[in-house]
Structure 1
Amino acid sequence: MASDKHIVEQDSGETDDGALVGSQGGVSLYGVSVEYGLHVLLWLLSERPKRASSRDLAEMQGVPPASLAKIMPKLERAGIVVSRDGIAGGYELSRAASDITVLDVVDAIEGDRKLFDCKDVRRGCVLFGGSPPPWSIHGVCRIHAVMMRAEKRMRAELAKTNLAELAQGRPAKFEDSVANWFSEKRAERELARLSGMKAGRRPQQ
């Protein structure tokens, strides 16, 4: 577990104004880390596995292990997951999936990322001569106000959906396949551990 948390990889670029550039070259408010985080959390919803390592989660979803190793500690600090050490260790949800919203995950990964950063440009009109008239700066900038309303609605929408709802529709047979896959991974690690212990006890030639 500990080694997972110290791998670093750059998975998205950032423009001069703070917007994120995705792998397809488009600019988005939220980076690919949010997509990775939401997808891998859905594997922790069932009782089997109740807990999974960062590496296994990354392999299951087909995302870079190094990227996920940065994401999971953020989710842990936000109280969305907890980690356990040991051969049977890994990450697990800290509370019911129905109590974890998409907004919770977004904020945990991206932090306080605003939709719009108003610089109060309205004061800079050359005709004002450095002294903007009261009518031009009265109250909140109208452009900023529009952006704040949009951000409020966006956050409200993200808060409407929880992890349990995102996972709806997965067939029971598929859930069994998921459980078996994680069980096999855990068994492989245990076998490797035991083999290593036996090799270490072999007498010197």
Structure 2
Amino acid sequence: MMAMPKVYWTEFTHPFFQNQPLYLAATNKGLCRITWPSESMDTLKSWVKKQVLDAELIEDEERLSEYVSQLRDYCDGKRNTFNLPLDMRGTSFQTSVWRALTDIPFGETRSYSDVADGLDNPKAVRAVGTANGANPIPIVIPCHRVIGKSSALTGFRGGLNVKESLLQLEGYHDYTKKGHVRFQF
């Protein structure tokens, strides 16, 4: 009989996110999910149920302490890269996009077209946007560093105010403060 897969989780709060909780989850392979402040524990549970079949969700602050430490250092402005194992769960196209996002340097941005071009798939701009929006490990996989070709912030699952705050934290200010109306909360 196979052992039930385990997903470990903890809560992370920080003044950067107005002390609203983010939930971090990891498997034995690495970090697999970070929720946004606008998302709940139910969001995490639902994601785990879909992505890690028959998983047992276990709260384990100690096991996730290094993930929390690096995220806290980033939010405190003391870290500009992450050195964490990741367990990316998505399609092969999604994971190729997410890997490309990890190559965008701290304090810089790329357009969706730039990312598509970098994947040698220049016509996949919309698909890149969709994969970017489905990123399960935001901040560590810096989906906030992707903006529109016109320098508009465009859509962002975490809310455009969070995207703007993350870019400002990284010292990036060369953007237009607008985006898809659906994401302006």
> Smaller-chain TM-score range?
under 0.3
TM-score by structure 2 length? 0.26
TM-score by structure 1 length? 0.25
Higher relative contact order (CA 8 A, sep 6+): 1
Relative to its length, the structure with more strand (as a share) is: 2
Relative to its length, the structure with more helix (as a share) is: 1
